[in-house]
Copies of this chain bind each other. A is one copy, B any other.
């Protein structure tokens, strides 16, 4: 009978092949042997825990790097009870690929992905989960919830199983919760409105959506405040969250019937802004001379419209990265600054400034 091979120290002559056996990665034990130290010392040296002689530490780090040591995530996780991954849910409600602001969300996820990767953690894309049972099947160390609206089932599910949460924009259902990352929407909206006024507008209308998320709600509120402060009558309409071209055109139509006719429009989303500009082209209404248009969110489509649309860049990659950072701080129980506000910038383009 052949004695069971307890794993030889021999080099695998063919390391490229995804062997049928266990992958022959360098273990902490190998580092310890090569450095002439105990496993515990190597672990302490690499993690900065315990007390290790500086000389010993140096030697261990050198050996580990030479051997190309990478800790086994499962072993570490088993001991520390960490999954080594964060979750991100781009939509907590919509079925299929019906995510609302596609470009924003993809850039958001990209930024979060990079930030997690830098910490050697995985960012996993979670499908919409509604119940505690579903959420319990794949438990990340923490979760980022985007596009969250009132009474969100996903938030409740993760709350119940004790997974730390950070939301993108404040959760309208939990106004006291400070663990969120997003924009200073009131300020951004006012900046946009001020810009429109500075370009000569006198009657500024507003097109938002009927979504109940914080961004949408806050922006509309800020618009009304801004108007009231100036003694202007607000002229606001909303489109359904599907924001189809037709719906946007109809909303625009309602605004154009107003008397006096607005000479500027603050459109909350890129999709609305693009549809509005296109429709104005069809109606032969000159942008920006007869009507200025500004978008509350920037992206390719706004930048490439004809004319290019002035837009507020919310920097979604930064938002994603900040969400990951805040989430780790929450997981680790650190009492850091929150919420985390990402400053937006206004990209002035022809739709408000005319040909440059």
Picked from B74, B117, B136, the residue with its CB within 8 Å of the CB of A83 is B74
A22 at the interface (CB under 8 A from B): yes
Oligomer copy total? 2
Set of chain B residues within 8 Å of A103, measured between Cβ atoms: 97, 102
CB-CB under 8 A from A138, the residues of chain B are 117, 120-122
Closest chain-B Cβ to A99's Cβ sits at a distance in Å of 6
Indicate if A96 sits at the interface (CB-CB under 8 A): yes
Stretch at the interface among A48-56, A123-131, A211-219, A258-266: A123-131
Nearest Cβ on chain B to A17's Cβ, whole angstroms? 6
With an 8 A cutoff between CB atoms, is A18 at the interface? Answer: yes
* Smallest CB gap from A12: residue in B: B162
> How many residues on the A side are at the interface (Cβ–Cβ under 8 A)?
67
| Residues of the B chain whose Cβ atoms lie less than 8 Å from the Cβ of A15 | 160, 162
- Choose one: B17, B97, B140; the contact of A110 (CB below 8 Å): B97
Residue pair B107, A97 in contact (C-beta under 8 Å): yes
CB closest residue in chain B, given A142 = B18
Candidates B78, B125, B126, B304; contact of A74 at CB < 8 Å: B78
A114: contacting residue among B81, B99, B110, B127, CB under 8 A: B127
Provide the residues of chain B in CB contact with A73, threshold 8 Å: 74, 77, 83
Tell me the bound Cα distance from A317 to B94 in angstroms: 14
Q: List 29 A-B contacts (CB under 8 A).
A: A15-B160, A15-B162, A16-B159, A18-B331, A68-B136, A73-B83, A74-B75, A74-B77, A85-B122, A90-B106, A96-B107, A97-B110, A97-B111, A97-B316, A97-B317, A102-B103, A102-B106, A109-B125, A110-B125, A117-B126, A117-B138, A121-B138, A122-B122, A122-B124, A122-B140, A123-B124, A124-B124, A278-B278, A278-B306
